[in-house]
């Protein structure tokens, strides 16, 4: 990389060197020279873009379930005029293959690009897919800019030193050079034709995040050139998150996932929209008042209002609420309302439609209370007297299913149990759910989500064998299936689940203090597991709910 030219002169030279009238445009191929082929299933956020039935090829990056980001220069007649791209449908038919490490296989997803939304200040464009994709990971934009000398990674489908049109995805290693207002220099693995639009990303706390999109390169070492320089230019994305959110909003529905987590530094709340984008996590106690020594937290939403319950170190139960407008009702002590329960350690809460149903674990017993539509609460009632007493109870879950049945779950003695409070107020007795998950071993967590008449369940074990099962409206349980490919095989210290717009969403806190999230769509397909980022401190617990509005 030469340091004797201005960026303007260098970029012009790079474009001239990289782009040809036909064949592939440029992007980052990741170890194009040394053939560092990506492992099967790796970097499944990376896409091969075919423009004009083979006229051009680029690489792209999946940022949520229906939007990709790539380089504008892929879609214009003259790649040196990238910022002249007009918004709308692509001029040429454009098809993307996403999550297919080996292009000779049938894995991943194939979609058409139906809409382009370009930036006017850099070589960058958002591309809308014809339909959502499933089972693939997203690469969310970074929140901070790279710095000179920082190590970055990449992945692309471009030319290598000895292959004109590779069938496999390759990975790359870069070092950051100069960082400017809209772009940055990278050097290391050669960036070849076909790599234009490829992701340039960093690993942060074990989680990849998108820093930039590769655009122009010297192509040193790429097949068909005698150039030796390997430097390249990439368009920054860390400073345009608001623009991305605004311009991808057309595919959102009204439902959000609400997450509450107790961490080493406090109690925090964040949201995930239907595109898969997470907001930042806010300090609940700063906006709703402090709770001394939060021991556990749970949440549920009705009519767009998210109710958060926190068990304090004094065994009192506190309730706050986030209004649909974003404001907060302060925490209030619920002991006077519900009745004091010495030794309260766990709570779980669910929407009943007009109100809430709450369960708590205190002194080895399960207690139940309800809130009606006008926020009038019943007192704690002893549910164990109806369900039966279980020794060594450690964890609770609750969810409503169609028909007014409230499903309650408990983990006790390393096994999982299910009971119901029927619409008429009568109770069943506990049933052993563990029998439907053979081989799971010692159960340490369980979470329910009511989706229509079905109760969907995630069960976790002390060995990391986490499983999913369904109880139908007739009370029949399916055999539980492993979530190793859907959520990983991490041992969970906390687990929760929620029904969000008819989809089953689950999250666990791992033993090393990370939150992993996945979801099962209404068609039965699962998204790839995702590590949730941007959470202050080290998470210890997680709670989920879904809300509209």
Q: What's residue 40's pLDDT?
A: 65
Q: Is residue 2 part of a domain?
A: no
Q: Is residue 332 part of a domain?
A: yes
Q: Is the pLDDT of residue 5 over 70?
A: no
Q: Is the pLDDT of residue 13 over 90?
A: no
Q: Tell me which of 88 and 21 has the higher pLDDT.
A: 88
* Domain final residue, candidates 246, 274, 294: 246
How does pLDDT run across 264-285, given as a tens digit for each residue?
999 999 999 998 889 889 999 9
* Domain final residue, candidates 222, 246, 270: 246
How does pLDDT run across 345-359, given as a tens digit for each residue?
999 999 999 999 999
Residue with tokens 């983990």: 411
Q: What's residue 153's pLDDT?
A: 95
Q: Stretch 155-177: mean pLDDT, rounded?
A: 86
Distance (Å, whole) CA 94 – CA 130: 11
Whether 224 and 346 share a structural domain: no
How does pLDDT run across 132-146, given as a tens digit for each residue?
998 899 999 999 999
Q: Is residue 1 part of a domain?
A: no
Q: Stretch 410-415: mean pLDDT, rounded?
A: 97
Q: What's residue 36's pLDDT?
A: 67
Q: What is the dihedral of CA 223, 122, 86, 165, to 10 degrees?
A: 10
Return the half-sphere exposure (C-beta side, CA atoms, 13 A cut-off) of residue 22.
Answer: 4
Q: Which phi and psi angles does 311 have, rounded to 5°?
A: -90, 120
Q: What is the mean pLDDT of the chain?
A: 90
Q: Tell me which of 73 and 10 has the higher pLDDT.
A: 73
What's the domain count of the chain? 2
Whether 156 and 265 share a structural domain: no
Q: Is residue 124 part of a domain?
A: yes
Q: What's residue 38's pLDDT?
A: 64
Q: What's residue 239's pLDDT?
A: 96
Q: For position 127, which CATH number holds? A: 2.40.10.120
Q: Is residue 230 part of a domain?
A: yes
Whether 218 and 279 share a structural domain: no
Residue 470 CB contacts under 8 Å (≥ 6 apart), including other chains: 454, 455, 456, 457, 477, 478
Whether 160 and 54 share a structural domain: yes
How does pLDDT run across 54-109, given as a tens digit for each residue?
999 999 999 999 999 999 999 999 998 999 999 999 999 999 999 998 999 999 99
Q: Residue 11: exposed, middle, or buried by beta-carbon count in 10 A (0-12, 13-18, 19+)?
A: middle
Whether 309 and 437 share a structural domain: yes
Q: What's residue 52's pLDDT?
A: 95
* Domain final residue, candidates 185, 220, 246: 246
Q: What's residue 28's pLDDT?
A: 34
Q: Is the pLDDT of residue 12 over 60?
A: no
Whether 342 and 256 share a structural domain: yes
The CA angle 330-450-251, to the nearest 5 degrees, is 75
Q: Is the pLDDT of residue 2 over 80?
A: no
Whether 55 and 180 share a structural domain: yes
Whether 350 and 430 share a structural domain: yes
Are 177 and 184 a contacting pair, CB within 8 Å? yes
pLDDT band at 445 (very low <50, low <70, confident <90, very high): very high
Q: Tell me which of 18 and 478 has the higher pLDDT.
A: 478
Q: What's residue 221's pLDDT?
A: 79
Q: Stretch 455-477: mean pLDDT, rounded?
A: 96
Got the DSSP string for 243-257?
Answer: HHHHHTGGG--SEEE
Whether 514 and 438 share a structural domain: yes
Q: What's residue 29's pLDDT?
A: 28
Q: Stretch 10-39: mean pLDDT, rounded?
A: 38
Residue 235 CB contacts under 8 Å (≥ 6 apart), including other chains: 71, 119, 122, 123, 124, 182, 183, 212, 213, 215
Q: Is the pLDDT of residue 39 over 80?
A: no
Got the DSSP string for 455-483?
Answer: EEEEEEETTS--EEEEE-TTSPBPPPEE-
Q: What's residue 163's pLDDT?
A: 73
Q: For position 401, which CATH number holds? A: 2.120.10.80
Q: Is residue 136 part of a domain?
A: yes
Which of 10-24, 206-220, 437-451 shows the lowest mean pLDDT across its residues?
A: 10-24
Residue 435 sits in which domain range?
252-548
Q: Is the pLDDT of residue 18 over 60?
A: no
Q: Is the pLDDT of residue 154 over 80?
A: yes
Q: 123: which strand partners? A: none
Q: Is the pLDDT of residue 4 over 60?
A: no
How does pLDDT run across 190-211, given as a tens digit for each residue?
898 899 999 999 998 888 999 9
Whether 414 and 300 share a structural domain: yes
Are 545 and 300 a contacting pair, CB within 8 Å? yes
Q: Is the pLDDT of residue 433 over 50?
A: yes
Q: Tell me which of 299 and 17 has the higher pLDDT.
A: 299
The percentage of residues in the chain with a pLDDT greater than 70, rounded to a whole number, is 92
pLDDT band at 119 (very low <50, low <70, confident <90, very high): very high
Whether 232 and 286 share a structural domain: no
Global pTM reads: 0.88
Q: Is residue 456 part of a domain?
A: yes
Q: Is residue 396 part of a domain?
A: yes
Whether 311 and 184 share a structural domain: no
The strand pair at 199-204 and 207-217 is best described as antiparallel
Q: What's residue 41's pLDDT?
A: 65
Got the DSSP string for 99-145?
Answer: S-SBTTS--SEEEEEEEEEE-SSSS-EEEEESS---S----PBPSS-
Residue with tokens 């791992």: 510
How does pLDDT run across 483-494, given as a tens digit for each residue?
998 998 999 999
Distance (Å, whole) CA 119 – CA 87: 9
């Amino acid at each position: 990389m030469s340091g004797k030219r201005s960026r303007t002169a260098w970029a012009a030279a790079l474009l001239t060197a990289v782009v040809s009238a036909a064949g592939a445009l440029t992007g980052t191929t990741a170890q194009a020279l040394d053939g560092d082929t990506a492992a099967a299933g790796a970097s499944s956020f990376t896409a091969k873009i075919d423009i004009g039935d083979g006229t051009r090829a680029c690489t792209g990056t999946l940022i949520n379930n229906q939007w990709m980001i790539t380089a504008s220069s892929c879609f214009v007649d003259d790649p040196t005029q990238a910022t002249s791209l007009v918004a709308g449908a692509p001029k040429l038919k454009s098809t993307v293959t996403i999550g297919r490490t080996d292009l000779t296989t049938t894995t991943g997803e194939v979609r058409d690009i139906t809409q382009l939304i370009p930036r006017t200040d850099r070589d960058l464009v958002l591309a809308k897919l014809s339909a959502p994709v499933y089972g693939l990971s997203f690469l969310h934009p970074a929140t901070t800019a790279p710095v000179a000398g920082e190590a970055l990674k990449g992945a692309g489908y471009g030319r290598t030193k000895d292959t004109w049109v590779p069938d496999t995805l390759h990975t790359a290693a870069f070092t950051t050079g100069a960082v400017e207002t809209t772009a940055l220099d990278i050097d290391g693995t050669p960036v070849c034709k076909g790599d234009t639009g490829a992701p340039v990303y960093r690993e942060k706390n074990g989680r990849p995040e998108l820093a930039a999109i590769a655009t122009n390169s010297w192509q040193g070492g790429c097949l068909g050139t005698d150039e030796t320089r390997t430097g390249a230019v990439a368009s920054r994305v860390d400073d345009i998150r608001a623009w991305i959110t605004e311009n991808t909003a057309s595919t959102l529905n009204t439902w959000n996932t609400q997450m509450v987590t107790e961490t080493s530094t406090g109690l925090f709340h964040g949201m995930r929209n239907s595109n898969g984008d997470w907001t930042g996590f806010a300090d609940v106690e700063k906006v709703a008042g402090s709770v001394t020594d939060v021991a556990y937290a749970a949440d549920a939403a009705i009519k767009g209002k998210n109710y958060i319950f926190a068990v304090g170190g004094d065994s009192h139960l506190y309730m706050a609420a986030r209004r649909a407008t974003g404001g907060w009702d302060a925490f209030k002590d619920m002991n006077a309302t519900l009745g004091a329960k010495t030794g309260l350690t766990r709570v779980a809460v669910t929407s009943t439609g007009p109100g809430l149903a709450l369960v708590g674990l205190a002194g080895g017993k399960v207690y139940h209370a309800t809130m009606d539509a006008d926020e009038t609460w019943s007192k704690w009632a002893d549910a164990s007297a109806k369900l039966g007493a279980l020794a060594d109870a450690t964890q609770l879950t609750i969810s409503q299913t169609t028909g007014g049945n409230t499903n309650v779950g408990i983990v006790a003695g390393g096994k999982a149990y299910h009971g119901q409070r029927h619409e008429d107020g009568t109770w069943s007795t506990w049933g052993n759910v563990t029998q439907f998950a053979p081989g799971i071993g010692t159960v340490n967590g369980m979470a329910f989500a009511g989706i229509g008449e079905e109760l969907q369940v995630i069960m976790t074990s002390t060995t990391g064998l986490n499983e999913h099962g369904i109880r139908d409206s007739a009370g029949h349980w399916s055999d539980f299936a492993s979530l190793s490919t859907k959520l990983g095989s991490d041992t969970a210290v906390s687990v929760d689940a929620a029904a969000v717009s008819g989809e089953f969403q689950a999250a666990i806190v791992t033993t090393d203090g990370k939150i992993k999230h996945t979801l099962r769509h209404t068609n039965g397909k699962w998204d790839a597991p995702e590590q949730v980022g941007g959470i202050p401190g080290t998470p210890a617990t997680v709670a989920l709910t879904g809300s509209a509005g």
